[in-house]
Structure formats: C-alpha cells, structure tokens
Amino acid sequence: MHDEASEWAPGGASRWWLHHSLASLSADLAKKNIPLVLRRGRADRIVPALVRDVEAGAVFWNRCYEPHAIARDKALKASLQADGIEVSSFNASLLREPWTIETKSGGPFKVFTPFWRALLSQGDPPPPRAAIAAQRATIDAPPSDALALLPTKPDWAGGLRDDWEVGEKAAQDRLDEFCEHLLQGYSTTRNLPATDGTSRLSPHLHFGEISPRRIFHRARAAGVDAETFLKELGWREFSYHLLFHFPTLPVTPLYPRFEKFPWRTSQSDLRAWQRGQTGYPLVDAGMRQLWQTGWMHNRVRMVVASFLIKHLLLDWRDGERWFWDTLVDADLASNAASWQWVAGSGADAAPYVRVFNPTLQGEKFDADGAYVRRFVPELAKLPAKWIHDPSAAPDDVLQAAGVVLGKTYPTPIVAHKQARSRALAAFEATKETA
Ligand SMILES: Cc1cc2nc3c(=O)[nH]c(=O)nc-3n(C[C@H](O)[C@H](O)[C@H](O)COP(=O)(O)OP(=O)(O)OC[C@H]3O[C@@H](n4cnc5c(N)ncnc54)[C@H](O)[C@@H]3O)c2cc1C
C-alpha cells in the first residue's frame, strides 16, 4: 500500500530508496513463497478490498507514528473490526512506545537526558524476533516497479546508486561492519565528515529494513563502549516521543514565541543554499553531498541548518522541506525535531545565541579539507590553510589553485560577523514579543 495523499508524501530521494527497498523485500519474501502485494491509493478503500479478495480473517501491521498515519490506521482498524476482522498492531520501529515514557507527573518529556534515563530504566528493550517461515501463497504479486517511484526525466539518481546498497541484508552487513570496526572510535570519528565514522544506518532504520532493537542488542554485544552511539538512537526515540505528543512539530514551533520570529524571504539566498553556492566551503560541501548522495553527515547538517536559519534568517521550515525531498533518510520525527533544535524553538534546543561559525567548524572538523575537496572540487587545489576561507586567501594562492572568486567559486553571500549580529537582534525582537 502506497499512500500519497498526505502533505508529507515521500520526497524524491525517499521514493528512490522505497523502490529498491520494496524490490529487495519482494525478492526476500519470494524465497519464502510469500508474495509482496503493492497497491497505490487510499488505505481505507484498498485494505478492505484486499481483505475481501484474499478472504482474510485477520490483519496484522506494524505501527507508524506520523500524525496522519495514526489517524489513518485508527480509522482503518475500526472499519475492519466493524466487518468482523481481527486486527493487531505491533511496535517494530522503536525501542519503546512513545506513550510509555513519562515524566514523574505523567506528562511528556521536553528534555533529552531525563527522557533517555527514563527509557533505559525500563530495562533493555526486547530482542528482535526471528523471521517467519515459508508460507502458502494466496495471491499474485505485481512487479515491484508498479508504483513508478524512480525518477526518469531526468534520472538524477546516479549518485544515490553509487553510494548505497538498499535492503535488509545490506543493513545487517553494515551493522556488523560498523560494530566490528567503527564503533570503538565512534565518540571521536562521528564528528569528522570526511571519515567513514558513523553507522549510516539512518535510511535502513527509516524504511524498517533493520530495527533499533536489533542495533541496540548488537552494539551492546560488540564488547566495546557503545553508550555514545546508543544515545544517538535515543535521540531518534526522543524525536518520535515529541512528534507523538506534539503532532504539529513539523510545522509549528514547539515554543510559541518563535511564531513571531521575523524571518526574511529571499528566493536567491534559498537557492544558493540549496545548490551549495553560499561561498562557505563547509556549507557548500554539505549541501552538495546531500544533493549527490541523498545523505549528509550529522555535524554538517547542524552547520548548514544553522547557516540557513541564523546567517540567512530563512525559515527553518524551508530547510526542513528541502531535506524532506532530498534525504534518503527523510523522517518526519527526526527531521522536524532536529530543525527545531537548531532553530532554538524545539525541545532541549541549542540556545539561540549559539551561532555556528562555518569557517571555524570547517577548520576544526575538516582540518585538512578532505571533505571540502571531495564535494567542492573547484577548491581542491587550495592549501588546507585557506580551504575553509578562500575569500581571505592571498591572490597568488588563489591563482595557483585556479580559483577565481565570484567566477569559479562564489564570494560569501553574507559576512559572518554581520549575519551573527543580525541573527541576535532578530532573536532579541522575538524575546520582546514573547
Ligand atoms: C537539521 C537536521 C535534520 C535531520 N534530519 C534527519 C532526518 O530526516 N532523518 C534522520 O534519520 N535523521 C535526521 N537527522 C539526525 C542525524 O543527522 C542523522 O540521523 C544521522 O546523521 C544519520 O547518520 P548515521 O546513521 O550515520 O548516524 P549515527 O551517528 O550512526 O547514529 C545512529 C542512528 O541514530 C539516529 N540518530 C543519530 N543522530 C540523531 C539525531 N540528532 N536525531 C535523531 N536521530 C538521530 C539515526 O537513526 C542514526 O541512524 C537530522 C539532523 C539535523 C541536524
């Protein structure tokens, strides 16, 4: 069933992933003689029709937590039950159900650390179950390209194909590789965007190719300190907790005073950000990594999001939408919670006065410039000393590297110092109208 009616229907990169994920699932199920039946359209019509076709007496599904999906599934459950069909739903994609973690007074958490402590205090989440055995087929499955999810004119997915292997086996292999070789150094390497230092499991998790419980137990069994890594899974849980309790999280600031924030509108600045043409190499490298590969390193996500919101004063929802369309791991809960976190309007958010300096972030986390060289090749020949600040480089250095500012690479679209003062003044204005 592929439901495109929601305003958060999957974006382009997610559709690409979904196509390959379904193809992989279909092939795996075929080995067990189980057909994967795909239908496009409204669940409240399609599922009852399918139930009648196969004369099913019971329907089982794994829960979704997006507000529109909760509403859809509640209505579907009621209508199937009214027809005498047994319906059961399960948790397959979270460590714990969002409503089972409560503050002492019985409400939702808005701060991460006590949330994570409360979740862990319930004991380890249950381990994943083994896969089901072979079945007797009762219906023919259409080919997995029936949903027409892939881009055709133009086919922009070459970079995604080069970077990713999709499906349950790929997810399991990556988990093993990560736990055997990368988990030990994760606390340090996770901040270095040029290094393969994080799990890159996010799209596999989003599409249900692997469960967080499997990751939790595998990481705990790896024989090294896994707590920093598990905490990141905790941020994912926290995002779902927030979305469940505050369903307008993707569109409305969690703290209402941010509704009055004096956002600018500038199509040209938004375009420059989207295309990686801001004149700040770390920001541009990140935005181009996203466009080419459908993924961006977490450290750089924070820097590019801060740049959009604070340097350009553009609405965080513009950035959230762009990520929604371009990320292979686009996830309503994690995306919305993270954007609001950077904007300062969300739960446990960074203080608004913290404005990342993209040049210093580059010098700190990409000291030799390897990440920038990879994604901004027109700067590749600049020495490390200047690669994060080309507009400050002496003329002869630029010339030797073949860089002509304003021609081969843009001059900065805003000056950091002025942008910072402007952002702080805008924030002060928001405080005054609180
Ligand atoms: C502005 C912004 C937007 C983001 N949008 C998304 C999104 O749409 N989908 C998404 O999955 N993540 C999002 N993140 C969170 C994070 O950047 C990615 O989960 C992470 O980079 C994925 O890479 P990884 O699998 O190698 O992570 P690892 O470092 O290996 O972490 C393991 C897992 O923990 C989870 N995780 C890690 N960090 C976070 C976090 N800050 N919030 C929530 N979960 C986290 C992910 O599921 C990840 O796969 C966003 C972050 C920012 C700053």
Q: Is residue 234 within a helix (H) or strand (E), and if so which, with residue range?
A: helix 227-245
Distances (CA, A) of 15 to 73, 166, 187, 324, 349: 21, 12, 32, 11, 30
Numbered residues of the known binding site for FAD: 186, 198-202, 229, 329-331
- The pLDDT value given to residue 180: 97
263 lines ligand 1 (CB under 6 A): no
Instruction: Specify the ligand 1 atom closest to the Cα of 238.
Output: 43
| Gyration radius (Cα) of the chain, Å | 23
| CATH, range 256-432 | 1.10.579.10
Identity of residue 191:
N
Residue 65: helix, strand or coil by DSSP?
Answer: coil
DSSP state of 409: B
DSSP state of 190: T
In the chain (434 residues long), the average pLDDT of successive 10-residue segments reads 78 96 93 89 91 94 95 96 97 97 96 97 92 73 73 88 96 98 96 98 98 97 96 98 98 91 96 98 98 98 98 98 98 97 88 90 98 98 98 98 98 97 90 55
Over residues 219-255, the pLDDT tens digits come to: 999 999 999 999 999 999 999 999 999 999 999 999 9
- The pLDDT value given to residue 434: 43
323 lines ligand 1 (CB under 6 A): yes
Tell how far the Cα of 268 is from the centroid of ligand 1, in angstroms: 28
Give the number of other CB atoms < 10 A from CB of residue 53: 11
DSSP state of 335: H
Architecture of the domain delimited by 94-127+168-245: Alpha Horseshoe (1.25)
Domain residue spans in the chain? Answer: 1-90, 94-127+168-245, 256-432
Q: Is residue 365 within a helix (H) or strand (E), and if so which, with residue range?
A: helix 358-365
Identity of residue 280:
Y
Of 427, 294, 266, 297, nearest to 349 by C-alpha is 427
324 lines ligand 1 (CB under 6 A): no
CATH 3.40.50.620 fits 1-90, yes or no: yes
Among the options 316, 324, 341, 386, which is catalytic? 316
Give the number of other CB atoms < 10 A from CB of residue 156: 14
- The pLDDT value given to residue 276: 98
Over residues 69-118, the pLDDT tens digits come to: 999 999 999 999 999 999 999 999 999 999 999 999 999 999 999 999 99
Instruction: Say whether 232 is catalytic.
Output: yes
